[in-house]
Structures are given as structure tokens and as C-alpha cells.
Structure 1
Amino acid sequence: MRILIGCETSGIARRAFSALGHDVWSADIEPAEDGSNRHIRCDIRDGILHEGWDLLAVLHPPCTRLCRSGRQWMSGPGKWTPPKRLPKGKTWDEMRAEFEEGVSIFTACWMAPIERVAIENPEMNDLARDRMPPDLPAPVMVQPFWFGHPEYKATGWYLRGLPPLSATKPLVEPVRGSGEWKAWNRVHRMAPSAERARLRSRSYPGMMEAAALQWGGYALEEAAA
């Protein structure tokens, strides 16, 4: 299968699919952390989506302005009224520009001429949903601890032509409020820093291994049918 991993620099997903023998490339505006020569540095909207891929997995498209938790920064009561407050150092025009970019990247990937598409994104706010294609389904939510990672981070997958991910290494959840439970919430308790957004969005190897096995296998079965 020819597989494109969009909006990822870590190489975690690319390596997981590649380990199963697929022809895999990653693409992002930033360079690959592992220096791979199978990483294309580009804006994913600039033609690469039309190069005959069998499967597209978009790992970390800009979602800060599209997600439900970001709604408070985009609008006050109703829709597109001035918000009560803005993030430090940001103007409303800058926020709306970031929103438009997020919408543009997400819709370009969803509407790409590729038979199988998986886009990672949290559940969207109403402003973002208003701008989405009419065939966009609700996200399928999974958790890292389904795949062997002792952490909580609800991860939404918008899927077209692919089945939901099934748990592969489910862990028993700790008692709520316990020290272990707090450790599992490390992503949500992460202190503000210049690296916070990048670290929070990093792919989980176990989840990507499951995606490679299940989605790659599904695509191969379909192709052979």
C-alpha cells in the first residue's frame, strides 16, 4: 500500500506502517525529527494529496481553534461575537486566521481523492462543525491505555473507508484520585512551556502500531477482494 502520513514530524506513525512493508511517506512543513529521507517537507495542501495514495493518516493537523476546549477564545455568546477574553499576545483577527487555516487543512485532507482517510482531531466546536463537509461523521474516540500506554488522552479519529481502531493492549484503569491516576493524567497536568503543544500532540507508538496493523491490513484485504 502507498500510505501518506500527514502533519507528523516524529516519524512514529511512518515507522509503524513501514515496519509492515508498506510504501510510506510522511509530510509536514517542519523537518522530520529522525532525519528520514522518506519525509516530504511541504504544506500538505500543495498537491501531494493528489499523488495516488491508498491511505491517508493525518496525525496532528492544527486543531487548537477547532476543538471544543478552544471555543471560548473564538466567540462570546452566540456565534462569532467578540470573545470575553483572548490568549495573551493574540488578537481576534489572528485567532480567526488560525481557525481558517485549521478548517482549510482539515477539509483539504478529508476531501482528498484518497479512498481511505483517518484524521486525528478532538471533538469539534460548533463554529468548526459549521464549516465541515456534510459527510463528516462524528469522531471515533480512543484512549492511549487501550494500546498499552498508562495515560489518559481522549483521541478522536474521523474515518472514511476505514474501521474504528480496536484495543490491542488494554490496561486496567487506576483508582480515581490515586497517585497512579494523577500520573495517567500527565498530559492534562503538563505545565505551560514552549514545547507543551508539541509534547501534548505526540503520537503514541502503541496506537500507531495498532493503526498500521488494523488499517493497513484492512486496506490490503480490500485490495485483494
Structure 2
Amino acid sequence: MALRALIVCETSGVARRAFAARGHDVWSTDIEPAEDGSNRHIVCDLRDGILLDGWDLICVIHPPCTRLCRSGRRWMSGPGKWTPPKKLPKGRTIEDLRAEFELGVELFLTCWKAPVRCKAIENPVMNDLARDRMPADLPAPHLVQPHQFGATAYKETGWFLDNLPQLRPTNPLPEPERGSDEWKRWNKIHRMPPGPDRARLRSRSFPEMMDAAAEQWGRHALRLAA
């Protein structure tokens, strides 16, 4: 038996290939084409109805979250809520940032409310402004690190889970000494210099984590579908 699984907001194909390797009927979708040229990638806006196509599981990999996370809060509001921020990013207006905030909220809620039994949405811990727009019963994100699955890297990843278990570490690595050369290499994502591809490269999934997700979440979703 195979799942019908949809990997949302992914162009790299990392998660799609992990589920496909386990025999599932898996597709990916994004507003951009797939990097690997796969014919199992659908270019579309997730709000156009693709989430209604009878999936057993959706895994939302990189929804826009810059304005929803705690680190982006300072650009959205000053003290209190929705007061003028002390500073704005260079070349941006508050109208730009609030439009991005509204888009992030809409896309997250579209995925969370989709009529799919099993859902995993990648998103960091939300700031208070975003949390105010979420359902009262939204669980806290399950936080994991790539090095818990065998990748030599730091990048805290949050998963909002619906009818899926928390990921169990599969190959936890001993962490390097703080400040050492190896520790700096593990922080390469956070230390990545500015550039046109920085956002895309920083958001790439780790194959090791996606292998664990495909194995653990796929097995769980299959049991529910049986």
C-alpha cells in the first residue's frame, strides 16, 4: 500500500525523493519549477485547490515565514502590538512587510485547515503577532536539529504536526566544542554571506531529516489509512 503524499513549497525535490524511495505516490508543488526537472512536480499556487485532491499526507517544507517568526518581529511592530517599528529594512515600507505578513498567515492557515488527515508544516516558533492569528488549539512546534539525524549542521527546524508523531532522532552526532573550527562549519547556514541565492540555500531541506520524516511519518500515515 502506498500513500498519496504532497510535498508543498518545495523545489529542491529532497523530500519528494525521500518519500518516493519508499514507494509512495508523491508529488511536489511550488510556484517555481523543480530544480531536478521532475515530471512529478506541479507548478501552481497552493491556494488554487491542489490541497483538495485527496491526499493522505501533506508535508509543507518552506512556506513564507520571515514575518511570522520571532526574529522578524522587530520589523513588524515596536513596543506593544502593531505600533510603528523603530526601524525598517533598507528599501522596504511597512506596507510591504505587512503584506508579506498577511501572505504568510494565509498560506499557513490554508495548509493547516486543509482536509488532509496527516499534516506537517515547517515553520519556526511564531511571534506574538502571528500567534494571535492562529487557531487557539494550534500546538507548539516540534523542534529538531539536523545533527540529530546525522547531518553536520545547526539549523533549528520547527514542525507543526497534525495526526503525526514527533520525529525520533535516527543518528544523533556529538556536538563540536563551541567556537571551534568544526563548530563554525556546523553553523555555515547562519554564517552564509548575503547574495541572490542566500534565502533559497538557507531553506533547503536536509536529506537526512527528510529520510527520517518519510520513514516515520509515512509508516504512521499508512497505519491510519489502512
Which residue of the partner structure matches residue 167 of structure 2?
A: 165
| Aligned-residue offset at 1:87 | 0.8
| Aligned-residue offset at 1:173 | 0.4
Q: Deviations over 1:164-215 (max 9, x none)?
A: 0011111110011111111111111111111111111000000000000000
Which residue of the partner structure matches residue 51 of structure 2?
A: 49
Alignment check: 8 A CA contact 2:56 2:225 kept:
no
Q: Which amino acid aligns with 2:111?
A: C
Q: Which 5+ residue runs of structure 2 have no aligned equivalent?
A: none
Secondary structure (helix, strand or coil) at the match of 2:119 reads: strand
- Moved runs in structure 1, 4+ residues, more than 6 A? none
Identity %: 71
Measured in 1, the distance between the counterparts of 2:53 and 2:202 equals 30
Alignment check: 8 A CA contact 2:47 2:110 kept:
yes
Q: Which of 130, 139, 150 in structure 2 is aligned with 1:148?
A: 150
Alignment check: 8 A CA contact 2:5 2:58 kept:
yes
Measured in 1, the distance between the counterparts of 2:58 and 2:71 equals 26
- TM-score if structure 1 supplies the norm length? 0.98
Secondary structure (helix, strand or coil) at the match of 1:219 reads: helix
Which residue of the partner structure matches residue 201 of structure 1?
A: 203
| Aligned-residue offset at 1:221 | 1.9
Q: Which of 192, 211, 214 in structure 2 is aligned with 1:212?
A: 214
Task: Confirm whether residue 101 of structure 1 aligns to residue 98 of structure 2.
Answer: no
Which residue of the partner structure matches residue 27 of structure 2?
A: 25
Q: Deviations over 1:124-154 (max 9, x none)?
A: 0000000012221000000000111111100
Which residue of the partner structure matches residue 191 of structure 2?
A: 189
Q: Deviations over 1:43-88 (max 9, x none)?
A: 1111001110000100000000000000000001111111111111
Measured in 2, the distance between the counterparts of 1:214 and 1:89 equals 44
Secondary structure (helix, strand or coil) at the match of 1:141 reads: strand
- TM-score if structure 2 supplies the norm length? 0.98
More displaced 10-residue stretch of structure 1: 180-189 or 106-115: 180-189
Measured in 2, the distance between the counterparts of 1:188 and 1:153 equals 8
Which residue of the partner structure matches residue 119 of structure 1?
A: 121
Secondary structure (helix, strand or coil) at the match of 1:66 reads: coil
Aligned length: 224
Secondary structure (helix, strand or coil) at the match of 1:119 reads: strand
Q: Which amino acid aligns with 1:125?
A: N
When the two chains are superposed, the root-mean-square deviation of aligned CA atoms in Å is: 0.7
Q: Which amino acid aligns with 1:207?
A: M
